[in-house]
């Protein structure tokens, strides 16, 4: 898979998501920022992102995936 594919799949699955992917081959790390994460536990945020890529994880196209998921407010605080 390519980083553009990872980004497109996450954006398609999570409304209004900003996605910052890195990686190549079958190993990726992503930062995902979305209002959809508001009021959601960290584990549920990860599950939401995994769900957008679950078929690619299952078929081995993605072997390793590191996720950091934030609301826009959390993201702004981290980058202030």
Query: pLDDT value at position 80?
Result: 78
Q: Show the domains of the chain with their CATH numbers.
A: 3-73 (3.30.300.90)
| Interval 42-68: pLDDT, tens | 999 999 999 999 999 999 999 999 999
Instruction: Please state the pTM of the whole predicted model.
Output: 0.93
Distance between CA atoms of 24 and 1, rounded to whole angstroms? Answer: 7
On the question of pLDDT at 13 being above 90, the answer is yes
On the question of pLDDT at 3 being above 90, the answer is yes
50: its two tokens: 């995994």
Query: pLDDT value at position 59?
Result: 95
> Angle 74-76-80 (CA atoms, 0-180°, nearest 5)?
125
């Amino acid at each position: 898979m390519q980083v553009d594919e990872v980004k497109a799949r996450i954006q398609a699955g999570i409304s209004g998501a900003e996605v910052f992917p890195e990686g190549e081959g079958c190993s990726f790390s992503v930062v995902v920022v979305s209002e959809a994460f508001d009021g959601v536990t960290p584990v549920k945020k990860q599950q939401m992102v995994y769900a957008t890529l679950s078929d690619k994880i299952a078929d081995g196209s993605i072997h390793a995936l590191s996720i950091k998921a934030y609301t826009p407010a959390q993201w702004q605080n981290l980058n202030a």
